Amino acid sequence: MALPGTTTVGLLVMLLLGDHIMLGVCGQDAECSCSTESYDADGAYGRHVFYVKYDLWVTTPKHQNENYDYYNSSPADSEQQAYGHAKCSTDLGPDDCRGCIGAALGVMNDRCGLSVGASVVLDRCQLRYEASPIRG
């Protein structure tokens, strides 16, 4: 489940700057929901959340034929598994979808921190992760 070094650096930059990347496309208003429970970023669940967020950012824009509607989960089948869902407006191109998901990740990280579950809805995309399976 380890990510390559350049990928990790790219994700960290995206997470730190995500809310500044595509505000023109994504809009400035966000609806957020954050779990009151928190997790250890260095623990198993923290690593699984990192994987899920990264995969949503990279893979959702590749699902244009499926209306940018993408569900995922961390690869491990355990009590520490994380689940995610992201969706972009169908009128966005793949790059704008990726930018919007990046913006949602930035908002999510700023407002929810290490919450066990969180969701962010922007004008043109939405993002969610949690410890329970998410159904479409």
Beta carbons within 8 Å of 55's beta carbon, 6+ residues apart: 72, 84
pLDDT of residue 136: 64
Domain count, the chain: 1
Is 38 part of a structural domain of the chain?
yes
Identify residue 134 by its one-letter amino acid code: I
pLDDT of residue 28: 55
Residue whose entry in the numeric block shows the structure tokens 């949503």: 56
As a whole number of angstroms, the distance between CA 85 and CA 130 comes to 9
Is 9 part of a structural domain of the chain?
no
Widest Cα–Cα separation across the chain: 39
CATH classification at residue 69:
3.30.430.20
| Regions of the chain short of the pLDDT cut 50 | 1-27
Is 10 part of a structural domain of the chain?
no
Is 94 part of a structural domain of the chain?
yes
Is 4 part of a structural domain of the chain?
no
Closest CA to 52 of 131, 113, 106, 112: 131
Query: What residues make up the domain containing 38?
Result: 31-130
Confirm if 26 and 123 have CB atoms less than 8 A apart.
Answer: yes
As a whole number of angstroms, the distance between CA 72 and CA 127 comes to 11
As a whole number of angstroms, the distance between CA 38 and CA 66 comes to 32
Alpha helices in 1-136 (DSSP H): 5-21, 23-26, 44-59, 94-112
